[in-house]
Structure formats: structure tokens, C-alpha cells
A = this chain, B = another copy of it.
Amino acid sequence: MPLLPPLADDDMSPEARAVLDDIRATRRTDYVNDIWRVLANDPRQLRLTWENVKKVMVPGALDPLTKELVYIAVSVANACGYCIHTHTASARDKGMTDGMLNELMEVVTLATQTNRLAIGYQVELDARYRRR
């Protein structure tokens, strides 16, 4: 029960349809996740989001698998179940093994733990990190 319904291709505007066609072409798949079909209710947001994904998730200084791992880590930190599931699937497609997933969760958990300790005790930044 999302707030707005996932739209079938025939029910969305031509502008939204063009974005979905680009998703299919770029990803070389016929399947488009429901989040895109929900966003199709707002073609502007759909296009902004997809353009952002297209520009950011390509190979660059970081490789696409590393980017997916970071994506999952952030989704775990933000407790987005939808995103955890879909990006775990994407990461697996790009080569993530169960062993890598487990180590990812170890790092996410460890970071969360020390984040909480630094915030909890209100630790102040060491002088040496205050200089640039």
C-alpha cells in the first residue's frame, strides 16, 4: 500500500515512459523496479532521480561494485528495507559474494558502534585533525 500506485507503462505520461525506457535500455533488462513505477506519478522527480543514478553509479574513481556496497551500507544505516533488498540484488549481480556481504555488515556494525561511542561520550576532535 504505497501512497501512490506503481503505474503500468500504459498508465504513465510519455515523459515518465521515456525514463522507464531509458532504464530498460541502460540496464539491459525488461524488468523495472516498483520504486520507479511509483515515482512515475511525479515525472520530474522520476527524471531527476534517474539522471542522478545514471551519473553517479558508473565506473569512476570507485568501481561499480564498491559503489553498490556503499549504497547498501547507507540503506542499512537509514533502515530502508526496500533499498537493502534491491541493492543487495544489484550488488550480487555485480559479483558480491555472501562473504563480502557478511564483511560489509561487520563494518557497518562496527562503524555504528564507534559512531555511538564518540557521540555518547561527546569526544572532541583531536587537535591534529583540526588542521587541514
* Cα distance, A112 to B114, chains bound together (Å): 10
Contact of A1 among B62, B117, B122 (CB under 8 A): B122
* Cα distance, A103 to B34, chains bound together (Å): 20
Interface string of A109-129 (1 = CB under 8 A from B): 111111111111111111011
Interface string of A45-85 (1 = CB under 8 A from B): 10011011101110011100011011101111111111111
- In the complex, the chain B residue whose C-beta lies closest to that of A99 is B61
Question: Which residues on the B side are within 8 Å of A19 (C-beta)?
Answer: none
Residue A38 CB within 8 A of the other chain: yes
Contact A107 B67 (CB under 8 A): yes
Contact A112 B112 (CB under 8 A): yes
Contact B56 A110 (CB under 8 A): yes
Residue A18 CB within 8 A of the other chain: no
Contact A100 B62 (CB under 8 A): yes
Contact A118 B80 (CB under 8 A): yes
A interface residues with partner B (beta carbon < 8 Å): 1-6, 31, 33-35, 38-39, 41-42, 44-45, 48-49, 51-53, 55-57, 60-62, 66-67, 69-71, 73-89, 97-126, 128-132
